[in-house]
Chains A and B, each alone.
Chain A
Amino acid sequence: MIGQALARRSAAPTCTPCTLAGADLLLHPAGVAFHGGTGTLVVADLHLEKATAFAARGQMLPPYETLESLRRLTRVTQEFLPRRLVLLGDSFHSRHHVLAENSAAIGLIEGLARAAELNWIAGNHDPELPLDLPGRCAPEMMLEGITLRHAPVADGATEMVGHLHPVASLATRAGRQRRKCFVLSGQRLLMPAFGALTGGIGVTDPLIARWFEEPDARAFLLCRDRLQTVPLAALT
């Protein structure tokens, strides 16, 4: 077996610019997208309290992922200082096991709401907010002609969506590497799931691939401090 010399750790994460329907976006390796023109930061699929939902069924997953996801989101928010924060649905994993007892988490959400205008888009896991939390709820929103909504819809609109938890796996010399990723075509930007305990669906799976049939579709793989761009068609 061959080991590879270590990747050097570098400090500041590098964003990758892209355009969707003429709007300039920055994709961040933490898994968020930023629209500088309107100061909008978009993030999808936090799945807060997912571990709690599992624990209720007897699988006692570590109860730290809610705080971790929210802290990560707070950090990346401080990097961009957005005017508006859009949570693209499935922010909560379950309707039943909510944040009520997690005061630290509620504190972080309140902090986010103070820093930016907080928008909760409804998802299939959380069609309505489980608690009285700050921010506005909506089924979808508009951003410079782009529809922001939880899941993709074939209605011809240019959209930014989540829901599908895209993951790309790449055969490399170090074996197959799986990473969360963005997927972009002229029609839509699919966001990676942001939550710390969110798994994924491979981008070659028909569930995802059918939304990205254009030959120039690309995947942006989340690596430690940067994104790696790969043509979708090259992924197997």
Chain B
Amino acid sequence: MLAKAEARRSALLIAPTGAGKTLAGFLPSLIDLTQRKPGIGPRGVHTLYISPLKALAVDISRNLEAPIAEMTLPIRVETRTGDTPGARRQRQMRSPPDILLTTPEQVALILAHSEARRFFSDLRTIVIDELHAIAPSKRGDLLALDLARVRKLAPEAISFGLSATVAEPDDLRRWLVDQHAPVTRADLVEAPAASAARPDLSILETAERLPWSGHSARHAMNEIYAEIGLHKLSLVFVNTRMQAEWVFQMLWEINEEGRRIALHHGSLDVGQRRKVEAAMAAGALDAVVCTSTLDLGIDWGDVDLVVNVGAPKGASRLLQRIGRANHRLDQPSKALLVPSNRFEVLECRAAIDAAYAGEQDAVTKRDGALDVLAQHVLGMVTAEPIHPDDLFTEVTSAAPFASLGREDFDRVLAFATDGGYALKAYDRFAKIKADKDGRLRIANARIAQAYRMNIGTIVEATMLKVHLGGAKSGALRYGRLLGEIEEYFAEGLTPGDTFVFAGEVLKFEGLLEDRVVASRATGRDPMIPSYAGGKFPLSTHLARRVRSMLATPSDWKHLPEQVAEWLGLQRDKSGLPERDDLLIETFPRSGRHYLVAYPFEGRLAHQTLGMLLTRRLERAGLKPLGFVANDYAIAVWMLGDPQLKLTREPRFLIDLFDADMLGDDLEDWLAESALMKRSFRHCAVIAGLIERRFPGMEKKARAVTISTDLIYDVLRRHEPDHILLKAARADAATGLMDLRRLSDLLMRIRGRIVHHSLERVSPLAVPILLEIGREPVYGEAGDAMIAEEAERLMQEACEPMGSL
């Protein structure tokens, strides 16, 4: 890195966790700073360090300050995060520190400041930590745009990206540098493998019977607890907050040895989390149950065991988590994978094989998000007047926007100005005005202020308050506040459902406006809702490995006996697909007909597939009644008989799974899709179409804010090509609906559909059928569900009192 700094070349440093790459990123700056001549007057910032995590910036600051103080170096290091008091931030603008440790959002804020030009004028080095985690996200898009501006203000500055091992380093190398420059990739510096010791990865060999489905891993708790006893500090990773609550609670129920087990996840109060972190660092804990909040770079203690409950969903995520154990290079990292059902055994095995092979998941290629660009454009005209041509050149120098067309840029600019509607209704309210030279400037200070309040790409899920309470004389009453949960979680609950929250089992009583009312459910087992299974879908890479494992019986010897037996049975009773085939089974069961397909493309793509298949089955006259999807398979049940249909139309299944479903069927569905509305809400907030809600504003918010669902409906009816709908659509394609992956699947299986017509359910279909009924119905047929529920309630209301 020193050589790169000397040669003034930007570089991507790839090193496994624990190889001291953060220090490597700073070393050139420290040397440069100690060698510089004493200056006169205030200077601009010398080194800008950007981390995705506030806590990481603070942690690095501690680690830097100690050696600087010891060596009495004349270097001022400061942090600036959302928590930094306003007075300090203002002082930092007047008198910048030598090294500023900050977050992407703060960079955007500094850039919109009138002093930005002076602040960055002496900048020599930009260090971006955990680049692999930032770059492929909207946050990365925004930071890339901001750095394009920083490079313009400080042409001499070079960028160092610090990253864990990734499948395609070229994308990150481009991300770091000006795409209009002669060299469009930063240099690559790869640290040698940190440890000669091969990590010690294993799947928990349970003595219990492996569950067919579900995600609780309840069967393995005693064994996990025993492992905790054998190690100094264990991190127990789970995939969701709810799962974390659940595992934490189960471990405490069997905690007869009085082990010190703590909980760490994003919904917990910050103070609570800091306490847990400090206790970890002090060696005062035996185990911490955590979510991905502890995935990234902070070292909190001497972790010697990583337990991953459930499937890791991706090879890269597993590697990151393994990296949390033993940051000493001479010892192997030790990780134990605990699959919570049979399919997850396959997935865990695939993840371990991938980890040993050193293979990473490829990150889906995506273009820079247009809603992010809309936000940025407003920031840039707030900072200083700029001609649209210059802004376009600057924007396209950022790698995520390198292929942005001028037409889309102009539409985004029009959106940022007055909404960009075909109907020019809002000229007089335009937020951006052009001066006589054609340079754009912000219309007034109020709009600049609104922009500052809106900076950032993180749209928090709407949180609902959870209160203890219940029904008294027919009406819901609520009392003590327990905390907050995501609105989407509450929407999945029906009265009577039990769930774990804040370490207690609660029974959902009902919603009272924006409050969740719940009572204590003593002695009842909580039901874990489906999406607790994992918020990340199975990665493409692992999916391929799982499929190839199924197709290769000689590999089964590495699997637990129960699982190998299960696969053997499947081979005898139905069949197992070749790696790139799609296995489809049809069979009758209690008066209905089932169609089960096994694409292994992840829950999101499967849900979308399910929506589209039901539409097509409906049209084919097969009367579908519903479907269920998980990471591995999808099952549709119907009144009509698909086997009969096939005897009349041999091409029926081929046509059913034809890629043309991504045409009109998709469009029809998108029109009303709740997922699309959720995507739109995010884009609308980021792009500044609607204002963010801030804590304390909720009361006012209800009166003033406007439902983005209504805006979406109006916009879609009147201007379906609007740029914000395009942005929402792009999000949905890679995000909630995984359209891209679905489309890849449909291409892959052309001519490769293997159909088995069965008399009864197959062994492989058992897990997915078990999920039926346990899962909430999902989809856009809300009206039908209302009719069903209304009928039930009316019947109840009309029953004679005597029958109660």
**Is the pair A7, B781 in contact by a Cβ cutoff of 8 Å?**
yes
Q: A2-B777, A5-B614, A174-B778 are in contact. Are A64 and B717 (CB under 8 A)?
A: yes
Q: A2-B628, A172-B786 are in contact. Are A59 and B690 (CB under 8 A)?
A: yes
Query: Which residues of A from 156 to 176 have beta carbons under 8 Å from B?
Result: 169-176
What residue in chain B is nearest A216 (Cβ atoms)?
A: B797
**Is the pair A174, B776 in contact by a Cβ cutoff of 8 Å?**
yes
A218 to chain B, nearest CB (A): 9
In whole angstroms, how far apart are the Cα atoms of A234 and B793 in the complex?
Answer: 7
**Is the pair A177, B785 in contact by a Cβ cutoff of 8 Å?**
yes
In whole angstroms, how far apart are the Cα atoms of A231 and B789 in the complex?
Answer: 11
- A229 at interface by CB-CB < 8 Å: yes
**Is the pair A3, B423 in contact by a Cβ cutoff of 8 Å?**
no
**Is the pair A5, B618 in contact by a Cβ cutoff of 8 Å?**
yes
Query: Which residues of B from 765 to 789 have beta carbons under 8 Å from A?
Result: 772, 775-789
Q: A4-B777, A4-B779 are in contact. Are A228 and B786 (CB under 8 A)?
A: yes
**Is the pair B786, A1 in contact by a Cβ cutoff of 8 Å?**
no
**Is the pair A174, B787 in contact by a Cβ cutoff of 8 Å?**
no
Of the 9-residue stretches B223-231, B510-518, B554-562, which lies at the interface with chain A?
B510-518
Q: A65-B714, A68-B718, A170-B790 are in contact. Are A2 and B783 (CB under 8 A)?
A: no
- A119 at interface by CB-CB < 8 Å: no
Query: Which residues of A from 38 to 78 have beta carbons under 8 Å from B?
Result: 50, 52, 54-56, 58-65, 68
- A199 at interface by CB-CB < 8 Å: yes
- Count contacts on A: residues with CB < 8 A to the other chain: 51
- A137 cross-chain contacts in B, Cβ below 8 A: none
**Is the pair B776, A1 in contact by a Cβ cutoff of 8 Å?**
yes
- B689 at interface by CB-CB < 8 Å: yes
**Is the pair A58, B779 in contact by a Cβ cutoff of 8 Å?**
no
**Is the pair B706, A230 in contact by a Cβ cutoff of 8 Å?**
no
- A26 at interface by CB-CB < 8 Å: no
Q: A2-B627, A236-B510 are in contact. Are A60 and B418 (CB under 8 A)?
A: yes
**Is the pair A171, B493 in contact by a Cβ cutoff of 8 Å?**
yes
- A224 at interface by CB-CB < 8 Å: yes
A233 to chain B, nearest CB (A): 6
- B383 at interface by CB-CB < 8 Å: no
- A56 cross-chain contacts in B, Cβ below 8 A: 429
- A233 cross-chain contacts in B, Cβ below 8 A: 474, 797
- A197 at interface by CB-CB < 8 Å: yes
- B419 at interface by CB-CB < 8 Å: yes
**Is the pair B777, A176 in contact by a Cβ cutoff of 8 Å?**
no
Q: A2-B772, A5-B623, A55-B419 are in contact. Are A171 and B691 (CB under 8 A)?
A: no
- A54 cross-chain contacts in B, Cβ below 8 A: 706
B790 to chain A, nearest CB (A): 4
B603, B781, B789: the one contacting A170 at CB < 8 Å is: B789
- A98 at interface by CB-CB < 8 Å: no
In whole angstroms, how far apart are the Cα atoms of A113 and B238 in the complex?
Answer: 64
**Is the pair B425, A55 in contact by a Cβ cutoff of 8 Å?**
yes
Query: Which residues of A from 105 to 136 have beta carbons under 8 Å from B?
Result: none
Binary A-proximity of B714-744 (CB < 8 A = 1, otherwise 0): 1101110010000000000000000000000
- B779 cross-chain contacts in A, Cβ below 8 A: 2-4, 174
- A231 cross-chain contacts in B, Cβ below 8 A: 793-794, 797
- A201 cross-chain contacts in B, Cβ below 8 A: 702
**Is the pair A5, B625 in contact by a Cβ cutoff of 8 Å?**
yes
In whole angstroms, how far apart are the Cα atoms of A60 and B446 in the complex?
Answer: 15
B493, B510, B775: the one contacting A2 at CB < 8 Å is: B775
**Is the pair A173, B707 in contact by a Cβ cutoff of 8 Å?**
no
Binary A-proximity of B462-482 (CB < 8 A = 1, otherwise 0): 000000000000101000000
Q: Which of A50, A59, A199, A230 has the most CB of B within 10 A?
A: A59
In whole angstroms, how far apart are the Cα atoms of A223 and B24 in the complex?
Answer: 62
In whole angstroms, how far apart are the Cα atoms of A198 and B707 in the complex?
Answer: 8
- A59 cross-chain contacts in B, Cβ below 8 A: 689-691
What residue in chain A is nearest B493 (Cβ atoms)?
A: A171
Query: Which residues of B from 311 to 369 have beta carbons under 8 Å from A?
Result: none
- A230 cross-chain contacts in B, Cβ below 8 A: 789-790, 793-794
- B691 cross-chain contacts in A, Cβ below 8 A: 59
**Is the pair B494, A171 in contact by a Cβ cutoff of 8 Å?**
yes
Interface size range on B against A: 35 or more
- B139 at interface by CB-CB < 8 Å: no
A70 to chain B, nearest CB (A): 13
**Is the pair B711, A63 in contact by a Cβ cutoff of 8 Å?**
no
**Is the pair B793, A172 in contact by a Cβ cutoff of 8 Å?**
no
- A202 at interface by CB-CB < 8 Å: yes
In whole angstroms, how far apart are the Cα atoms of A173 and B618 in the complex?
Answer: 20
What residue in chain B is nearest A231 (Cβ atoms)?
A: B797
- A81 at interface by CB-CB < 8 Å: no
**Is the pair A63, B474 in contact by a Cβ cutoff of 8 Å?**
no
In whole angstroms, how far apart are the Cα atoms of A236 and B478 in the complex?
Answer: 12
In whole angstroms, how far apart are the Cα atoms of A45 and B331 in the complex?
Answer: 70
- B746 at interface by CB-CB < 8 Å: no
In whole angstroms, how far apart are the Cα atoms of A54 and B623 in the complex?
Answer: 45
- B286 at interface by CB-CB < 8 Å: no
- A190 at interface by CB-CB < 8 Å: no
**Is the pair B787, A60 in contact by a Cβ cutoff of 8 Å?**
no
In whole angstroms, how far apart are the Cα atoms of A177 and B719 in the complex?
Answer: 26
**Is the pair A236, B509 in contact by a Cβ cutoff of 8 Å?**
yes
- B777 cross-chain contacts in A, Cβ below 8 A: 2-4, 172-175
Query: Which residues of B from 677 to 724 have beta carbons under 8 Å from A?
Result: 689-691, 702, 705-707, 710-711, 713-715, 717-719, 722
In whole angstroms, how far apart are the Cα atoms of A80 and B629 in the complex?
Answer: 45
- B623 cross-chain contacts in A, Cβ below 8 A: 5
Q: A63-B421, A174-B776 are in contact. Are A204 and B513 (CB under 8 A)?
A: yes
- A174 cross-chain contacts in B, Cβ below 8 A: 776-779, 781-782, 784-785
**Is the pair B785, A204 in contact by a Cβ cutoff of 8 Å?**
no
**Is the pair B423, A173 in contact by a Cβ cutoff of 8 Å?**
no
**Is the pair B628, A1 in contact by a Cβ cutoff of 8 Å?**
yes
**Is the pair A170, B786 in contact by a Cβ cutoff of 8 Å?**
yes
B428 to chain A, nearest CB (A): 8
**Is the pair B627, A3 in contact by a Cβ cutoff of 8 Å?**
yes
- B610 at interface by CB-CB < 8 Å: yes
Q: Which of A3, A50, A169, A175 has the most CB of B within 10 A?
A: A3
B145 to chain A, nearest CB (A): 21
Query: Which residues of A from 92 to 108 have beta carbons under 8 Å from B?
Result: 101-102
**Is the pair B476, A236 in contact by a Cβ cutoff of 8 Å?**
yes
**Is the pair B419, A7 in contact by a Cβ cutoff of 8 Å?**
no
In whole angstroms, how far apart are the Cα atoms of A224 and B702 in the complex?
Answer: 25
**Is the pair B706, A61 in contact by a Cβ cutoff of 8 Å?**
yes
- A191 at interface by CB-CB < 8 Å: no
Can you give 30 A-B contacts (C-beta < 8 A)?
Answer: A1-B776, A3-B777, A3-B781, A4-B781, A4-B784, A5-B638, A5-B781, A6-B780, A52-B426, A54-B706, A55-B426, A55-B429, A56-B429, A58-B429, A63-B419, A64-B423, A65-B714, A102-B425, A172-B777, A173-B776, A173-B785, A173-B789, A175-B491, A177-B783, A197-B711, A199-B705, A204-B476, A223-B786, A236-B509, A236-B510
Given contacts A2-B777, A229-B790, 16 further A-B contacts (CB under 8 A): A1-B778, A2-B626, A2-B627, A3-B627, A5-B614, A55-B418, A61-B706, A62-B719, A68-B718, A170-B790, A171-B494, A174-B776, A199-B710, A234-B793, A234-B797, A236-B512
Q: Which of A's residues lie within 8 Å of B, judged by CB? A: 1-7, 50, 52, 54-56, 58-65, 68, 101-102, 169-177, 179, 196-199, 201-202, 204-205, 221, 223-224, 228-231, 233-234, 236
